[in-house]
């Protein structure tokens, strides 16, 4: 928790108020409203009994009547104002906070280095901040308002009492200190328990997700897996209950003591009021004093629970700050934002390891890729191929060595600028709930020209047949998530759709990371032919553990355990009779047999 000391409650409140300026006005009006609600009746009561005491006749009643009428009119006006604000508050401001916060968080994501994602923690915090951050902010704001309201009220009621019976104020003060002490202890207990249970909640969350995870459903149905997790879930539940039983009994007793202290205020106040009135024989203010005492007791009780709620909400600010504080290095590095035409990419003795002291993922990699070349990068799983893609895109930075675009070091170029020079199909490609055209362009479809491009691309990957038969054509929404007329794609079709992105891109370098894993052989061959003829002037980097891409490549790099083991054209490498040939033959063997 120490790291987060720098984010005081005050700066958090500032952040909340900065998300929507109207909150200040709403706070102000709420304070006035609470005074109206709780203090006005006491004043009126005192005033009316005073009139009665002095003048218990028709005349006196007339005066009382005007007071009642004025009070009613005031309340009617007040009701209108409060309604307008309350509703603004309830239904719109909270949503606005939510919207503003998510915009803030989304922009933050742009700045966070890719490496940070690799730690599960960051995304967990991010999810929390995004899911609950706004409601905790709103809760903080709301309980803060209540505290202010209650403090203002205590001050005003307190002043009245201080004039008449200062002992009551003293008693309230003592109770206040006592409850504050109790409160400190109980929040500590609550915090400890929630820390203890956080792990169990995480486990429970995973199990719940599992039970509605599509890909797990078949295992759950057809193996004994479900019993394993049902047992586990019950055990986790027992642990949570155990922690609560152990620690909460102490908390509850303390809270009961605190409650008795605050609620005794009314009894003490009543006794003192009765005593002073009887001594001074002054019945006039009796009624209003009693009413004030009961209001005071209510407000003090209210204050303790508002503070509790405030604490509960405000402690969660760290979820948001953990995200906002995430330092960004790589994403902000470099100043160059325009690049000359692409000529070459150079890797100069590049080393990379994901964590210090860990085995290197890439070890002393040097190569040069020139404009127009077709490159195949092959190797076993874990050879470092995907890490290489990340380096190309400046998602990560070499631990040693350097990368150059033409002669410009990567270090000096802004990430956005570098990434624009690539069109990439990732191994874990995704389809979004946008239209088909938007999924290919990854922007809104705006011009006729773009439309033609999209159709052209669809034809090349062999999806045009399917799309053209849809009622809305390329404007059909992908997936049925938001549109029941949406189009669903099979695994192979999804991959084709993603490959279509390459055909509309103007980037000079294309990277395809395992682009063919879900394609049937005929589609695979067809699409490869299309890519090769499309990319005739472009630079093409194929990454694969299949060797079907390698024969036509200008240069092949065979990776093994983070190093380049062999390089050259297919022909050269076959002649070399090394690892490449061995691997190629394992895969080709069955096909070769037939050819012979």
Partner 1 sequence: MKIIKSTFFILKKVIQIIPLYFIFSIITIILNAILVWGQLYIIEQTVTMVELGNSTFKEILLFIVVLSCINLFCSSVNRFFGDYLKPKYRHTWMKKIQYLLYEKAKELPIEYYDDPKKYDELSRALKQDLSSINAFDNFINFVKNIVSMAVMVVYICVNVPILFIITLFASIINIVCGSKILKIYHDEYKETELDRRKRVYVARVFYLEKYTMDIKTTNVGEMLKNMEKEGYEAVDTRCNNDNKKSRKWYFLDNGIYYVLNQFIIYFYLMYSVFFKGMLIGKFSALASACHKFSGRFYSLVSSFTSLRRNLIEIEDFVWLLNYQPEKEIENDNNVIDFKEVHIQNLSFAYPNQEQPSLQNISIQIKRGQKIAIIGYNGAGKTTLTKLLLKLYPPLNGEIFIDDMDYPNINRKQISSLFSIVLQNFQIYCATVLENILMHRPNNDEEKEKAIHALKKVGLYEKVMEYPNGLDTILTKEFNNDGIELSGGERQRMVLARVFASDAPIIILDEPTSALDPTAEKNINDEIMRLCEEENKTLILISHRLSTIVNVDTIYMMKEGQIIEEGNHHSLMLKKGSYYEMFEAQAKLYRES
Type and span of the H or E element at 374: strand 374-379
Should residue 244 be labelled a site residue for partner 1 when binding is judged by CB under 8 A?
A: yes
Sequence-ordered alpha helix ranges (H) in 479-578:
491-504, 521-534, 570-576
117: contact with partner 1 by CB under 8 A: yes
Q: Does 529 bind partner 1 (CB under 8 A)?
A: no
Minimal distance, residue 364 CB to partner 1, in Å: 22
- Whichever of 3 and 227 has its CB closer to partner 1, that residue is 227
Q: Which is nearer to partner 1, 9 or 109 (CB)?
A: 109
Closer to partner 1 by CB, 17 or 122: give it.
122
Residue 167 or 400 having the CB closest to partner 1: 167
Q: Which residue in the set 11, 18, 406, 592 belongs to the binding site for partner 1 (CB under 8 A)? A: 592
> What residues numbered 300-339 form the site for partner 1, per CB under 8 A?
none
Per-residue binding string, partner 1, 560-589, x by CB under 8 A, is ----------xx--x--------xx-xxxx
- Label each residue of 154-207 as H, E or C: HHHHHHHHHHHCHHHHHHHHHHHHHHHHHHHHHHHHHHHHHHHHHHHHHHHHHH
Q: Does the footprint of partner 1 cover residue 3 (CB under 8 A)?
A: no
Residue 15's nearest CA partner among 303, 323, 309 is 323
- Quote the least distance from Cβ 582 to partner 1, whole Å: 8
Q: How far is CA 216 from CA 212, 219, 429, in A?
A: 8, 5, 20
Give the per-residue SS3 of 314-342.
HCCHHHHHHHHCCCCCHHHCCCECCCCCC
Q: Any contact of residue 559 with partner 1 (CB under 8 A)?
A: no
* Residue whose CB is less far from partner 1, 9 or 35: 35
Sign of the dihedral through C-alpha 62, 64, 65, 70:
positive
Considering only 7, 75, 351, 411, the residue that binds partner 1 (CB under 8 A) is 75
Which one of residues 159, 170, 198, 382 is an interface residue with partner 1 (CB under 8 A)?
Answer: 382
Interface with partner 1, residue 76, by CB under 8 A:
yes
* Residue of the chain from 8, 11, 18, 223 that contacts partner 1 (CB under 8 A): 223
CA distances from 366 to 442, 510, 545 (A): 33, 20, 20
**Half-sphere exposure for 40 (CA within 13 Å, toward CB):** 14
Containing H/E element for 365?
strand 362-370
Q: Rule CB under 8 A: say whether 435 interacts with partner 1.
A: no
Q: What separation in angstroms does the CA of 551 have from each of 296, 443, 542?
A: 87, 35, 12
- Does 465 engage in binding with partner 1 (CB under 8 A)? no
| Nearer CB in complex with partner 1: 49/371 | 49
Return the closest-CA partner of residue 477 out of 500, 445, 501. 445
Binding of partner 1 at residue 406 (CB under 8 A)? no
For partner 1, the closer CB: 470 or 588: 588
Count the helix, strand and coil residues of the chain and give each as a percent rounded to the nearest 5.
70, 10, 20
Among 174, 218, 324, 452, binds partner 1 (CB under 8 A): 218
Q: How many C-beta neighbours within 10 Å does residue 382 have? A: 13
Q: How many residues bind partner 1 (CB under 8 A)?
A: 168
Q: Is 105 in the site for partner 1 (CB under 8 A)?
A: yes
Kindly tell me which of 151 and 216 has the beta carbon lying closer to partner 1.
216
Q: Three-class SS of residue 513?
A: strand
**Residue nearer to partner 1 on the CB measure, 18 or 234:** 234
Residue 538 pairs with which residues in a beta bridge? none
- Which residue among 24, 525, 572, 575 contacts partner 1 (CB under 8 A)? 525
Question: Binder to partner 1 among 158, 334, 379, 398 (CB under 8 A)?
Answer: 379
CB of residue 10 vs partner 1: minimum separation in angstroms? Answer: 28
Does 358 sit near partner 1 (CB under 8 A)?
no
Enumerate residues 415-434 that contact partner 1 by CB under 8 A. Answer: 415, 419, 422, 424, 426, 428, 430, 432-434
Q: Which stretch binds partner 1 (CB under 8 A): 155-163, 270-278, 348-356, 368-376?
A: 270-278
Measure CA 399 to chain center.
Answer: 30
- Residue 313 to residues 60, 319, 382, 433, Cα–Cα distance (Å): 51, 11, 44, 34
Sheet with 344-352, edge to edge strand ranges: 362-370, 344-352, 400-405, 408-409
Candidate segments 8-16, 168-176, 205-213, 340-348, binder of partner 1 by CB under 8 A: 205-213
127 or 412: whose CB is closer to partner 1?
Answer: 127
- Which residues, 16 to 55, sit near partner 1 by CB under 8 A? 41, 44-45, 48-49, 52
551: contact with partner 1 by CB under 8 A? yes
Q: According to CB under 8 A, which one of 1, 2, 10, 120 is a site residue for partner 1?
A: 120
The 3-state DSSP class for residue 378 equals strand
Edge-to-edge strands, sheet with 555-560: 422-425, 509-513, 539-544, 374-379, 555-560, 563-568
Subset of 489-508 contacting partner 1 (CB under 8 A): 490-493
Nearer CB in complex with partner 1: 11/234: 234
Q: Which is nearer to partner 1, 363 or 517 (CB)?
A: 517
Window 175-204: residues binding partner 1 (CB under 8 A):
199, 202-204
Nearer to partner 1, 130 or 369 (CB): 130
Spatial contact of 472 and 434, defined as CB atoms under 8 Å apart? no
* 511 CB-contact burial (10 Å; exposed 0-12 / middle 13-18 / buried 19+): buried
User: Closest distance between partner 1 and the C-beta of residue 221, in Å?
Assistant: 7
**Residue with structure tokens 């401001």?**
93
Does 533 participate in binding partner 1 (rule CB under 8 A)?
Answer: no
For residue 191 the two structure tokens come to 């915090």
Q: Which of 377, 549, 556, 558 binds partner 1 (CB under 8 A)?
A: 549
Does 356 contact partner 1 by CB under 8 A? no
* 450, 441 Cβ separation under 8 angstroms: yes
Can you tell me which of 13, 104, 191, 259 binds partner 1, judged by CB under 8 A? 259
Cβ burial, residue 417 (10 Å; 0-12/13-18/19+): middle
Q: Which of these segments, 23-31, 143-151, 250-258, 398-406, binds partner 1 (CB under 8 A)?
A: 250-258
381 binds partner 1 (CB under 8 A): yes
């Amino acid at each position: 928790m120490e790291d987060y000391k720098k984010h005081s409650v005050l700066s958090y409140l500032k952040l909340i108020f900065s998300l929507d300026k109207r909150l200040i006005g709403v706070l102000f009006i709420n304070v006035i409203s609470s005074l109206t609600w709780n203090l006005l009746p006491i004043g009126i009561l005192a005033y009316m009994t005073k009139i009665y005491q002095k003048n218990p006749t028709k005349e006196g009643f007339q005066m009382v009547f005007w007071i009642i009428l004025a009070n009613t009119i005031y309340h009617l006006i007040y009701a209108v104002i409060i309604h307008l604000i309350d509703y603004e508050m309830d239904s719109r401001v909270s949503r606005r906070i939510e919207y503003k916060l998510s915009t803030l968080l989304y922009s933050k994501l742009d700045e966070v280095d890719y490496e940070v994602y690799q730690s599960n923690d960051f995304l967990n915090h991010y999810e929390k901040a995004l899911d609950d951050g706004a409601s905790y902010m709103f809760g903080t704001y709301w309980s803060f308002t209540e505290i202010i309201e209650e403090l203002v009220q205590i001050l005003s009621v307190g002043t009245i009492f201080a004039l008449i019976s200062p002992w009551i104020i003293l008693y309230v003060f003592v109770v206040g200190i006592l409850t504050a002490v109790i409160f400190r202890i109980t929040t500590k207990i609550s915090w400890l328990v929630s820390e203890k249970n956080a792990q169990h909640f995480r486990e429970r969350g995973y199990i719940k997700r599992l039970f509605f995870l599509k890909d797990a459903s078949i295992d759950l149905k057809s193996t004994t897996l479900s019993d394993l997790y049902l047992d586990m879930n019950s055990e986790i539940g027992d642990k949570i209950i155990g922690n609560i039983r152990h620690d909460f009994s102490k908390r509850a007793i303390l809270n009961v003591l605190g409650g008795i202290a605050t609620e005794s205020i009314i009894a003490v106040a009543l006794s003192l009021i009765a005593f002073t009135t009887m001594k001074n024989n002054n019945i006039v203010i009796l009624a209003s004093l009693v009413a004030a005492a009961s209001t005071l007791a209510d407000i003090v009780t209210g204050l303790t629970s508002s503070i509790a709620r405030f604490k509960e909400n405000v402690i969660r600010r760290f979820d948001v700050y953990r995200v906002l504080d995430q330092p960004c290095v790589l994403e902000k590095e470099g100043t160059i934002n325009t690049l000359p035409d692409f000529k070459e990419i150079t890797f100069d003795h590049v080393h990379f390891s994901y964590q210090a002291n860990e085995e290197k993922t890439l070890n002393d990699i040097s190569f040069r890729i020139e404009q127009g070349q077709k490159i195949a990068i092959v190797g076993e799983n874990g050879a470092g191929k995907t890490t290489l893609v990340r380096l190309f895109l400046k998602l990560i930075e070499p631990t040693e060595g350097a990368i150059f675009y033409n002669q410009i070091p990567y270090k000096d170029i802004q990430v956005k600028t570098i990434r624009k020079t690539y069109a990439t199909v990732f191994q874990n490609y995704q389809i979004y709930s946008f239209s088909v055209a938007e999924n290919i362009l990854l922007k809104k479809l705006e011009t006729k020209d773009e439309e033609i491009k999209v159709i052209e691309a669809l034809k090349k990957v062999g999806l045009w047949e399917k799309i053209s038969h849809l009622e809305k054509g390329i404007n059909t929404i992908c997936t049925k998530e938001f549109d029941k007329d949406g189009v669903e794609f099979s695994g192979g079709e999804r991959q084709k759709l993603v490959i279509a992105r390459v055909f509309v891109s103007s980037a000079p370098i294309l990277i395809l990371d395992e682009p063919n894993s879900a394609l049937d052989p005929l589609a695979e061959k067809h699409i490869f032919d299309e890519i090769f003829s499309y990319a005739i002037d472009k630079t093409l980097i194929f990454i694969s553990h299949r060797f079907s891409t390698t024969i036509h490549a200008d240069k092949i790099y065979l990776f093994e355990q983070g190093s380049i083991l062999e390089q050259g054209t297919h022909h050269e490498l076959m002649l070399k009779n090394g690892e490449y040939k061995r691997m190629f033959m394992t895969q080709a063997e069955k096909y070769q047999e037939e050819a012979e």
